[in-house]
Structure 1
Amino acid sequence: MNKNSLNSSMKRSVSVLLLLLSCSLAFAQSKISGKVIDQKTKEGIPGASIRIKDTNTGTVADFEGNFSINALPNATLVVSFIGYSNKEVAVNSQTELTIGLEEATNELEQVVVIGYGSQRKVDVTGATSSVKGEELVKQPVMTPTQAIQGKVAGVQIISSGRPGSSPNIRIRGTGTALAGTATLFVVDGVLTDDISNVNTADITNIDILKDASATAIYGSRGANGVVIITTKKGVSGKMVVNYNTQIGMRSAANLVKMANAAEYANYVSAASGGQPFPAGTISTDWYGEILREAFMQNHNLSISGGSDKSKHYLSLGYLGDEGIIIKNNFRRFTARLNDDFTLHEKLRVGLTTSFTNSRDQNVNLNAAYNNAYRAAPTIEAMKDGKYGNTSLFQNVGNAVLDINNNDDYTVLNRLQSSGYLEFNPIKSLTFRSSIGGDLNFRNAREYNYQFNNDQTTFILAGGNQRNPNSNLTVTNENIFRWVWDNTFTYNKTFGKHTLNVMVGTTAEQYTQSKFSAFRRDVPASKNLWYINTGNANTSTNSGEGDKWARNSYISRLNYNYNDKYLFTATMRADGSSRFPPANRWGYFPSFGAGWILTNEEFLKGQSLFQTIKLRASWGRVGNDRISSDGYIVTVEPNLAYPFGGGVATLGSAITQIKDPNLKWETTEEADLGLDFSIMNGKLQGEFGFYDKKSKDLLINVKVPSVTGDKDGVVLTNAASIRNTGFEAALNWRDKINEDMSYRVGGNITFNKNSVIGLNGGQPIIDGGIGASQQYTTKTDNGQPVGSFYVLQVLGVFQTDDEVAAYKGSNGQVIQPSASAGDFKYQDTNGDGKIDDNDRVFVGSYQPKAFFGLNAGFTYKDFDLSVDAYGNFGNKVYNGKRAFRQGLYDNVESSMAYERWSRGSGINSEPAANSGNLPASTYFVESGDFIRINNIALGYNLSPTLLSKLKIASARVYVTAQNYFTFKKYSGFTPELPGDPTKAGIELNAYPTSKTLAFGLNVGF
């Protein structure tokens, strides 16, 4: 063998040896055990994801945060969990690791919940926002949605102060007129429209899906946005017990000052032409009579624990809120049990269950506020056990009697539960089946006491306020909703390519039954408040129900190339029983793309930007929230029809015309956004533009009377609404030193809403408030939904000569019945008279912009936070002022002493009058406001003191809610929830309450 051959042979041998060695090393993986913990609390993080970088191999931490995985000695592990920053850890031949995760300061690195799954926020191509549970519990609120006011761009929350009520949520404007506007809530997988049963203390995170690309996975339920609520899970290891409580007092935040007896007497005298009216010695503050300082309390106890095979979370809660109106009271008990079990390394199951019992003692707001506003201050509320007779000379009831005479309460028992099974047949594939149910049992009872209009009841005899017969109304309502989801998720990484595919089905059904019974002459003893104790001859019964179902097919594709280029596509097909068979199915696609610029080579090496992501998306969602019989023609029985001879015969006839071709309301939305994090995560923000068009909206169209429809209208798809807007959010966090840190942030949303096509439909007239104002709003082309449509006030006639000089083109006096001191109205159409044809659009309740501000400061163990929110560019209607019906109705103090009188020159307030003024710009006021909705000052007990007390953690704090409101509106509150076509009218609104509360959080 020559030398060359020998060298060649040796080279081949070395090559083979190296190849065998490399192969052996490739397979020389070792088992790595470890634990993922919270870097701050040192507690295990159950469910944390551990993945070998650049592979599709991974595992999930158990209920104590423990994990094991086979990996090469030189491998790198990527660890992630919702709310924490991702972390990469080099194995470096170690076999045991403890990996600490820190709460994500870079919000883009957080893992957020999306429909039927989760993603890093940086990978999301739609518009989403998140709020942590720890931010919610700082405020003394009943529902978690109240606590996120002003915290999320694009989300407007309009809250009522009434205990037991849920606020209205508008995400990126109003997209419908007559169909449902409720936002979809998903609580641990259970779909619902009401979260009044959810205890804020049980929440880990709230994720809000805002644009159609993000919500399209929910198809027919996504038109009004989606709010996903994740509740707390058990922590494995040592049992953890937490107790937190809030105790405080509520009171009315902004009261309307009414005329006192002297001002009232002077006003009535002037309005009656100068006839004297005695003020007397009584001056009753009617709001003072029906309002009170109200006690509120909130207590929550939670127990968490478990092992590597199971973990459990149990919580109990009690909320009590008296309400600021006498006799008003709300209390709620909640219980929650969340269980998770690992039956096998590939099989997991879990059960989430909550039970709520609430009792709501209602009050008649119409009686309470309408009558308190109108009642004469010269009449006493009560004296020596008798009520003042406010109806002696005016058609107004005694507000205190109205409240005390009525006993109205509702008891609600609600059971909400969901269970899941999760199976991994192979590492990249997960099958998940979950089924959830929501049962509501509502029992309501309203009793009206008997009383007469004699001296045994009233201080002054006479009048017309009386109830000659007691009466009882009992209502029982049962609701059951279930939803069943089955999904397959395939997740795999091929080099620089990461693919996530989800397909599945979901089914949902809703049933409701309601029965009411009424009888008179039921005894006054509460023990006898049953229908059978009343007069059987006065009995009336009624019943109703509803049932509908949905069946859906869902799919989603997420693609990530090298953490630079992102693509998302979803498709959902929904079938709804609320539509006729031919239009039963709707198809809702969406597409999204993202570009992470900071991972490009041309931005490598710079230190200013940590993350810059551009995203764009388009999606289509639907709305099927209409009556289940909206397309079904029904026959009305027992109608009398005269035949020959004039004898009426009972028969049946079709009295309503319905559109048999009703179809889905659909919303298409395009979105363009920029998300960024700069200066080592100190400054984070997002900007977004959206264009959302809702079409085929349901609206009433007039039909000829010859068709026989008793209402003269038919509900059909004949309108379109458009919302376009811009939203921005910026948040800054920084440390001054080891002892001091601060944060400041804000968000703002500009939105333009307009009706862009009625397509033959008739404008929607709404907002009636009684008296002479049959309506105040009109929804029409080119205007926002629910725009105020009223007469334009030009000023006040200063002299009778001005009245005579105000003429039309034909020389006719335009307001011949007016006199000096009356309003001068604009003759808009120039026909020489003032009527409804002269009304003009003067704005709507929908704001042009709404915003939120927040700030926080910590020094050692002290912390201070301040939150504010508000809006501008909208209008509200002072309906209570417009409802004045007669000479003797009371007036606001400002109306009493700032009114026009001869020679005063006042041009904004008319002379004293008896009310019944037409709907006009006089009653339309600015809805702009800024509210400091929460100030909280807290102190965390030092470790030394905690050790002495033998507790793990403790925080005491004081919080003030709604204590400062800066507004232009003269009424109680510019926050006025309501249906889109009649929102923004203050008639019987519950005044906003302010709360001062003390709190304690203790961990054992």
Structure 2
Amino acid sequence: MKRIFTVSVLVLSCFFFINAAFAQDVVVKGKVTDATTGEALIGVSVSLKGTTTGVQTDVNGAFSIKAPGNGTLVFTYIGYIASSLPINNQTALDVKLKSESKELAQVVVIGYGTQKKRDVTGAVASVSGDIITRQPVQTPTQALQGKVAGVQILSSGQPNSQPIVRIRGTGSVLAGANPLYVVDGVLTDDIRNINNSDIVSVDVLKDASAAIYGVRAANGVVIITTKRGKAGAPVVSYDANVGFREGANTVKLADRQQYIDYLKVASPTKVADDKAPLTIPGTTDWAAAVSRKAFETNHNISVSGGSDKALYFISANYIDENGIIKTNNFKRFTIRANNQVQITDKLKFSDQISLSRNDERPVDIGGIYGNVYRAAPIIPAIVNGLYGNTSAWSNVGNPLLQLDKSVDNTLNNRVQGNVALDYNPIKSLTFHSAFNLDERFNNQKNYDYAFEADGSTFTVGGGNQRNTDSRLFVQNDNSYQYQWDNTVTFDKTFGKHHLTVLGGIVTEKGKSNFISGTRIDVPTNPNQWFLDVGNPDVNAVDNNNGDLFTRQSYVGRVNYSYAGKYQLSGSLRRDGSSRFKQKWGTFYTVGAGWVLSEEDFLKDGVFNNLKLRGSYGELGNDNIPSSLYVITGVPYQPYFFNGALVGGTIIQDIKDTNLKWETTKQLDIGLDYAFLNNRLTGEIDYYDKKVKNALINIGLPGILGDPDNKYVTNAASIQNKGVEVAVRWNDRINEHLSYNVGANISYNKNKVIGLNGGTAIEDGGANGKTITRTDNGQPIGSYYVLQAIGVFQTQAEVDAAAPNNYTSEANHVGGLKYADINGDHKIDANDRVYAGSYQPKYFGGFNFSVNYYDFDISADFYGNWGNKIYNAKKNSRGTENDNIEAAYADARYTTANPSTTDPATITQQTPPSTYFIESGAFLRLNNLTVGYTVPKTLLKPLGIAKIRVFLTSQNLFTAKRYSGQSPELFNSGALTQGIDATNYPVTRTFAFGVNVQF
């Protein structure tokens, strides 16, 4: 018995000894590569199964980790199939990961959560940060141009301008048509403070899936996710580019001789009576006089890293960008810090904070370029410090004098970010609480010097371009908006069933305040530009105003999938907004998806992925002033009561106290596909988007006073209906050569489908006549003008024509002829016709990139078709002495050139007509970049992980039919978008850049 016990103890001891030996920690080293190409994979997560211990592969794909000899290592990498390998006491492991379709593996942000793209039932597009940083642009939305189907983006050449974004057409007239932006959970309407190099991805919610954001999501949602640190040694990155901008597609104006020849017809008396300027040699190119080649530079540095317990990412960015208009400058400095701390296994703390400061000197582009187009070329801009006195020539003011005698400066300081706690009591349950803040402090100073253009040796005397007193305008703006999110998410897989349920409460509040004042006779010393040193008694204007709004929301969402083939989703949001008397509304979406390629009848077929999806829902829009429904009065108004003059209050306007938000109902049916071993991928979408209760102005009954008076109410319906097609081809020929090609095209039809008693809206005036009309059956902002049918060639044609009662311009040889549409033998407002709109029927983009050894080249094209532009600058002549465009000067009617299309003169009385409407179709090379990456073998001895140098150009060329600078017009108003009057010049950029990583 004793011997048996002894043997048992020895056997048991040996068992524990063997177990202990196998359980001892070993240091495992290895390399992770792509199973197909053999290329080293950087940043692969290597973790010990069942623990939080882990590391990441370095720039050579190598890793080293200490783990039990009987443990299992898990290798995960975005875009690759996860792999688990037992250690079995090995000290060396070489791992090959198989690539998963990037389209299927891609994680997209869907609002208060994420999903793999293959599980999404809505129309969600995603663009990676790497693509955004290729272009030397200030805002990420500029870099999205032409890359997302259904998203139209219009940008300006002016520094610090925010691009106009339209997702699936224009859906509102008065309540704002811009999308909602969400930056790391912070809801905002302005993303000009975001450093492009900090961005991981931009996700665009195009359909009713945006309803998770409720009353602010009617125009779509753009979600921006910024970078965070990764576990491992610190990684230092430096990105920079330096270059210059210049004017592109500049419109050539008439020179001296063309101008004088024109005046002989347009203003013969002026030529005969006032000849002094006509004798001065030379031509002034006013566009060149106010323009320059503009320097720009952009520098970004970041540090990231961490451990399994804490992650950090810190970046700093500096932009110095000059506009091509003299005196127009912009500088921005941004600091960002994103951190994450795993306090316990169940509790995580995270924060993101961004601090930005802008210093901008803007220009009044309307005033400057309005005069550039019209200034007489016979007057010099400046000679020996003396400005040419264009105003004395019965002409506009000297644009260069306007620039030099006015100083506008704006300082913007902004804090944006959040702090959050995530608690996981069990693996499938997450409680999330985040406080988000967006706070701004702005200061504006505009100073106008005193001057008088009283003539010089080369100008005529007199004129009205003068400023007898210096003037200072100061305004301070302060605003904040906070949002507190509290959500709970349940996410669990039961066999073939996957269920995700989210519920939560969102509280928002925003407040703004501004105070401004004006004084005259302020000293010229900038250090004395304060209101209290000016004259407080003359022309003093002070103002103080602000806004306050609140929202309370309840959100819920359910996502369900079965066997990876059948998917259902639904969201519900209950919103309360202080901007309406009827404060509460309910918004929802339902969606379904069917992965056909997982069915037996297609599983082994040609498709790697084929998915049919659909969604339907209702969204809201409360983007209106908070006081729009509040009746206000003007106090201290004098009136007689019982024979005495007393003070009282009057109602200043009529308002609809029952205003409610615009609602958008949207249907989307889509097809996602991937075949040829996932090399060919894409989407096809059909959508029908209807806006009801749209806010418009309707006329008051004549019994209430002036019939031209209007008030705002919910009285219109708008429809956008269209098709989107996107296709991408990715291929690797061998380990040295790879390429990808992508294209998208969108068709959209916009029209007003019901004014519900409202009157048609006319807008966009020129010379006292409106240009656009928004009415039933027509697109928003359609041109409504006379139909020009040629030029009178003989007096007999003039005598036989219907008289022009629309303006005081009489019919004459060389004048425009107009169609008598209603046949009443007179030309008046009843003969106007609809002549197209600025909204394109088709728009899209094409892009490609090639990587060959260490060289790369990429190009992006963008364009649209089927839209029209109204050339208002051609029709904006205020006097007969204004200049004209060179092309018109050569083409216009003369006895020697009896043109049948271009009239002899264009005057103040020339009415808006189809003559001024041109095609807006264009195709632009948006970006061309050529880069070279220094081989790693040369960098490794220097301790540098990566160096890439590149040359890039933005807006290299544009193929267009429009005679103006660009058919891409930067007008924010929905009713005047396509009217080209005084847009900032389009710019072309050339830059050299470098990317360095340590």
TM-score norm. by structure 1 comes to 0.91
User: In the alignment, which residue of structure 2 is the partner of 1:226?
Assistant: 221
Shift in CA distance, 483/161, structure 1 to aligned 2, threshold 3 Å: same
Q: Is the 8 A contact 1:856 1:863 kept in 2?
A: yes
CA distance in 1, matches of 2:379, 2:603: 79
* Shift in Å, 1:30: 14
1:605-1004 equivalences under 5 Å are 605-606=604-605, 608-642=606-640, 649-707=646-704, 712-769=709-766, 771-773=767-769, 775-807=770-802, 817-902=810-895, 904-977=897-970, 978-1004=972-998
Equivalent residues of 2:254, 2:883 under 8 A apart: yes
SS in structure 2 of the partner of residue 894 of structure 1: helix
Query: In terms of mean alpha carbon deviation, does 37-46 or 375-384 score higher?
Result: 37-46
The answer to whether the 8 A contact 1:387-1:458 is kept is no
Please tell me whether residue 355 in structure 1 is matched to residue 355 in structure 2.
Answer: yes
Q: Secondary structure at the match of 1:535?
A: coil
Counterpart contact for 2:83–2:97, Cα < 8 Å = no
Q: Residue in 2 aligned with 1:13?
A: none
Q: Please report how far the alpha carbon of residue 832 of structure 1 lies from its aligned counterpart in structure 2 after TM superposition.
A: 2.2
Cα distance between partner residues in 2 of 1:909 and 1:631: 49
Residues 657/866 of structure 1: CA separation in 2 closer, same or farther (3 Å cut): same
Structure-1 separation of matches of 2:298 and 2:806: 64
Given residue 259 of structure 1, which amino acid in structure 2 is its aligned partner?
Answer: A
Moved more, 108-117 or 857-866: 108-117
Change (3 A) 1:756 1:616: same
Q: In the alignment, does 2:436 pair up with 1:436?
A: yes
Q: State the 1:789 CA deviation.
A: 0.9
SS at match of 1:416: strand
Aligned length: 957
Q: Distance in 1 between matches of 2:944 and 2:835?
A: 60
Residue 643 of structure 1 deviates from its aligned partner by 5.2
Letter in 2 for 1:987: A
How far apart, in 2, do the equivalents of 1:484 and 1:37 lie?
42
**Match of 2:980, SS?**
coil
Counterpart of 1:248 in 2: which secondary structure?
strand
Distance 1:642 1:969, change over 3 A: farther
Change over 3 Å in CA distance of 1:825–1:30 after alignment to 2:
farther
Tell me by how many angstroms 1:814 deviates.
Answer: 12
Where does residue 321 of structure 1 map in the other structure?
Answer: 321
In structure 2, C-alpha distance between the alignment counterparts of 1:541 and 1:784, rounded to whole Å: 41
* Aligned residue type for 1:342: Q
Report the 3-state secondary structure (helix = DSSP H, G, I; strand = E; otherwise coil) of the residue aligned with 1:661.
coil
The 1:194/1:358 distance shift into structure 2, 3 A limit, reads: same
Structure 2 CA distance for aligned equivalents of residues 457 and 627 of structure 1: 53
- Post-superposition shift, 1:609? 1.2
Closer/same/farther in 2, CA of residues 455 and 265 from structure 1, 3 Å limit: closer
- Residue 668 of structure 2 aligns to a residue in which SS? strand
Shift of 1:101: 6.3
Letter aligned with residue 323 of structure 1: G
Structure-2 change in CA distance of 1:384 and 1:739 (3 Å): same
CA contact (8 A) 1:814 1:832 kept: no
The residue number in structure 1 matching 2:115 is: 119
Q: Cα offset for 1:280?
A: 3.6
Of 120, 123, 129, 1:133 maps to 129
Note closer, same or farther for the CA distance 1:258–1:294 as it changes in structure 2 (3 Å cut). same
Q: Residue 280 of structure 2 contacts residue 458 of structure 2 at CA under 8 Å; is this kept in 1? A: no
Question: Does 2:168 align with 1:169?
Answer: no
Give the letter for the 2:917 counterpart.
V
Residues 364 and 402 in structure 1, CA contact (< 8 A), matched pair in contact too: no
Output the CA distance in 2 between the equivalents of 1:642 and 1:817: 50
CA distance in 2, matches of 1:31, 1:627: 66
Q: Is the 8 A contact 2:248 2:988 kept in 1?
A: yes
Q: Structure 1 364/605 Cα, relative in aligned 2: closer, same or farther at 3 Å?
A: closer
Q: What residue is the counterpart of 2:589 in the other structure?
A: 590
Match of 2:452, SS state, is coil
Q: Deviations over 1:195-241 (max 9, x none)?
A: 000000000111111101x2010111111111111111012221110
- Residues 354-387 of structure 1 deviation map (CA, whole Å, 9 limit, x = unaligned): 1000111011212221111101110000011010
- State how far apart, in whole Å, the 2-side matches of 1:621 and 1:95 are: 57
CA distance in 2, matches of 1:493, 1:387: 77
Measure, in 2, the Cα distance between the counterparts of 1:312 and 1:385: 56
Residue 186 of structure 2 corresponds to residue 190 of structure 1: yes
| Alpha-carbon distance in 2 for matches of 1:860, 1:222 | 45
Structure 1 runs not aligned, ≥5 long? 1-28, 53-57
Q: Take 1:38 and 1:176, find their aligned partners in 2: how far apart are those partners?
A: 51
- Please report how far the alpha carbon of residue 655 of structure 1 lies from its aligned counterpart in structure 2 after TM superposition: 2.7
CA deviations on 1:232-268 (whole Å, 9 max, x unpaired) are 1012221110101000010001100011101111111
Structure 2: gaps of 5 or more residues: 1-22, 58-62
Q: Does the 8 Å CA contact 1:38/1:44 hold for their aligned counterparts?
A: no
Residue 309 (structure 2) aligns with:
309
Q: Which amino acid aligns with 1:466?
A: R
Deviation at 1:455, TM superposition (A): 4.1
In 1, Cα distance between the equivalents of 2:229 and 2:640?
A: 72
703-712 or 459-468: which moved more?
703-712
Deviation at 1:904, TM superposition (A): 3.5
Q: 1:155 aligns with which of 136, 151, 157?
A: 151
The percentage of aligned residue pairs carrying the same residue is 47
Listed as ranges, the matches of 1:353-392 within 5 Å are: 353-392=353-392
Classify 1:248/1:845 alpha carbon distance in 2 versus 1 (closer, same or farther; 3 Å): same
The amino acid that maps onto 2:375 is A
- Structure 1, 971-980 or 145-154: larger mean CA deviation: 971-980
- Answer yes or no: is 1:565 the counterpart of 2:566: yes
Q: Deviations over 1:711-768 (max 9, x none)?
A: 7222111100000000000000112222111111100000000000000011111112
Q: Does 1:200 align with 2:196?
A: yes
In the aligned structure 2, how far is the partner of 1:883 from the partner of 1:603? 63
Residues 844, 876 of structure 1: 8 Å contact kept: yes
Cα deviation, 1:27-58, whole Å, max 9, x if unaligned, reads xx999999998966655457x999x9xxxxx8
1:89 to partner: Cα distance: 4.1
CA contact (8 A) 2:511 2:549 kept: yes
Q: Using the alignment, how far apart are the partners of 1:112 and 1:708 within structure 2?
A: 55
Matches of 1:488 and 1:401, distance apart in 2: 61
Greater Cα shift, 799-808 or 546-555: 799-808
Q: Secondary structure at the match of 1:463?
A: coil
Q: Bigger CA drift: 649-658 or 661-670?
A: 649-658
- Secondary structure at the counterpart of residue 931 of structure 2: strand
Aligned partners of 1:201 and 1:557: how far apart in 2? 34
CA distance in structure 2 between the aligned counterparts of 1:158 and 1:972, rounded to whole angstroms = 14
8 A contact 2:267–2:881 mirrored in 1: no
Q: What is the one-letter code of the residue matched to 1:656?
A: D
In angstroms, what is the RMSD of aligned CA positions? Answer: 2.9
Distance 1:459 1:906, change over 3 A: closer
CA distance in 2, matches of 1:222, 1:908: 47
Offset at residue 798 of structure 1 (A): 0.6
Paired with 2:111 and 2:805, the residues of 1 have a C-alpha distance of 66
Which string of whole-angstrom CA distances, capped at 9 and with x for unpartnered residues, describes residues 102-151 of structure 1? Answer: 77653122111111111110000000111111111111100011011000
Matched residue SS, 1:618: strand
Q: Which residue does the alignment assign to 2:233?
A: 238
Match for 1:464: what amino acid? N
Residues 609 and 390 (structure 1), Cα distance of their counterparts in 2 relative to 1, 3 Å cut:
same
Q: Structure 1 residues 316, 711: CA separation in 2 closer, same or farther (over 3 Å shift)? A: farther
Q: Do the aligned residues in 1 keep the contact of 2:744 with 2:844 (CA within 8 Å)?
A: yes
Q: Given the alignment of the two structures, is residue 481 of structure 1 paired with residue 481 of structure 2, yes or no?
A: yes
* Deviation (angstroms), 1:908: 1.2
Partner of 1:549: 550
